[in-house]
Copies of this chain bind each other. A is one copy, B any other.
């Protein structure tokens, strides 16, 4: 094809030679070369079509002609920085504001997407989330940030960007010299708790102990890494009603998870710390497509605001109508929840690098009063804003929110039907075109079927379907396709998934569940019900036998994960 300029082997050769080896490629054993894309389809160098279930960045469809035209025209007219007045900037800000509650009226335009390091929980950051934390700290005069377990928005802000190491993998030898110092510190926290706070999320880790931890004994690189990691940050449990600490059988998981946040705040206060912000993805994405129980954010917001903090909703992955019923995923919680700051990215420019932070006039004014100028070379340039406007136009003109509702429902119905047949599917959850399918070896113990999830991804690739697996155990199949996804696309994926699951279950010795008419299921139970039943009681005995012939080294292969 004309779009291919080099033989694939030459492309691979040059990539190995000139591109950082830390920049992984999908399906590294047999990577795909994509030369063009249209709508929900991508094409390789041989013209082979792939159904794209993963690229939420190509929000209104790959290479949408309206978006391309808007970008091209503006590129040919003017592309400069936001220190000159330009209509595109203000028109886009106005249009964006109109999608949000009135209080969220002031925009900051930045441009980086999320950069990610596949080493949970130190994963993502973006200029947008960094700026959000800065706004919060400035407004409140407080320092400390509460994030969710498994969160991926660079949750200790840009600090994490230079703190790449897995803190829970630090060798004991590196930690031991510091234990004493930490224990000796006034109000000290035991270092083992501290370092394992990801697993024991109730350990509050203020700056002081960690800072001292690095100064004595440990020294050097790892020390400061740890310090950066924990500085002014604490993690609340992920509000995951399938696998989390309060599950679907809990009488009020929203209140219970929110109470955990309140408790974190109390512990912070006991130590003289003050809360600047709570930041969470409105639906956790890389964290495993987690849908928080309704009312959770309202209650968290009450606790956080009582402590003088603000609430930041990260819509980088899930905003712009993907959830179907609402334009923003935080709105799923109800009209009585309004964050103080919202961050946006990925789909905002349909692939063009741009992102945005929206906040209240009060927060913005406080930031301005600090006397700081904020300038971003590329942020809010006329081309980015022209593209952003075109994306909003297409979402409206093509009723992509309505499509997300309709196709999302069809897809989740089909997946629910598969769940009734396949013991490997532990949970189906999500909203609109943001759906997760959690694979487990055992529905009672919830043993993650990690290798099996990777196998599913590889098998579907052979069927020319691009899907991803993510979550803390990498066992959640993750649907976040371009918003022009059709019912037929959904049916194709379900049809291809069915035999792959059967094959894996045979290997595991799992017996199919006794449900007739799979594939023809028209269950009325949809994912738009706020409270899903997560343990439906359908469960044959599950022998804990090891898989017999799962592809070797599955875990080490790079398969599509979140971007």
Contacts and interface: CB of A to CB of B under 8 A. Distances in A.
A17 interface: yes
Interface in A28-48: 31-37, 42
A563 B25 contact: no
A402 to B, nearest CB: 25
Given A32-B85, A159-B162, A18 B220 contact: no
B55 A80 contact: yes
Interface string A80-96: 11111111011101100
A99 interface: no
A111 B159 contact: no
A57 B71 contact: no
A147 interface: no
Nearest to A4: B87
A99 to B, nearest CB: 12
Interface of A is mostly: mixed
A365 interface: yes
A376 to B, nearest CB: 4
A354 B375 CA distance: 16
Contact of A272 (B115, B133, B219): B219
B373 A221 contact: no
Given A3-B78, A55-B80, A207 B224 contact: yes
A15 interface: yes
Nearest to A7: B87
B351 A105 contact: no
B87 A11 contact: yes
A68 B63 contact: no
Given A34-B84, A219-B272, A228-B231, 16 more contacts: A4-B87, A11-B87, A14-B93, A23-B374, A35-B78, A37-B77, A65-B76, A111-B353, A113-B379, A133-B162, A159-B162, A207-B211, A207-B215, A345-B377, A351-B381, A353-B384
23 contacts: A15-B89, A18-B97, A21-B368, A22-B364, A31-B84, A33-B85, A35-B77, A35-B87, A37-B79, A42-B80, A55-B80, A63-B79, A68-B76, A72-B76, A79-B351, A116-B375, A141-B220, A142-B221, A143-B224, A157-B162, A159-B159, A346-B377, A375-B563
